[in-house]
Amino acid sequence: MQERQTKQKTAIYETLKSLDHPTATEVYTNLQESCPSISRATVFRVLGGFAQSGRALELRLAGTDVRYDYNVAPHFHVHCRGCGRVADVFLPELLGVGEEVKSACGFTVEGATVEFFGRCESCRGEDA
């Protein structure tokens, strides 16, 4: 059975796409002008549903609120410890590591979380 695509879900998804790895609260805040009647609970529930259905990624980065990414293509994330910015990292050479894990220990890899962290260019400049 296909899930209903409501105006609220469409607005939440479009807002998610317009922001850079936002939290649910950031999505909610950005929706207030265009959808003032939408509730915080609806935003949290819909984003969770997007993650469960594969329409979005749920990012549980150390020391931060859960963030969401509309880009579900295989990629990694780097998290700045200075400002909290999250950026996409495309490293095709790492995408085949699941097969190496299977060869090494017999597990079929169904998913993985790799978190890179450090300081972005702006924050490195502030430290210098």
Confidence of residue 26 (pLDDT cuts 50, 70, 90): very high
Does residue 40 form part of some domain? yes
CATH number for the domain that contains residue 110:
3.30.1490.190
Residue 12 structure tokens? 């939440």
Provide the domain limits for residue 49. 7-69
Whole-number average pLDDT of the chain: 90
Average pLDDT over residues 105-124: 89
Does residue 1 form part of some domain? no
Q: Is the pLDDT confidence value at 126 over 70?
A: no
Identify whether residues 42 and 88 lie together within a single domain. no
32-84: pLDDT as tens digits = 999 999 999 999 999 999 999 999 999 998 888 999 999 999 899 999 999 99
pLDDT value for 4: 77
Does residue 36 form part of some domain? yes
Instruction: Classify 21 in phi/psi space as left (phi over 0), alpha (psi -120 to 50) or beta.
Output: left
pLDDT value for 2: 60
- pTM for this model (two decimals): 0.83
Could you give the number of structural domains in the chain?
A: 2
- Rg (the chain; Cα; Å): 17
Identify whether residues 65 and 84 lie together within a single domain. no
Identify whether residues 95 and 117 lie together within a single domain. yes
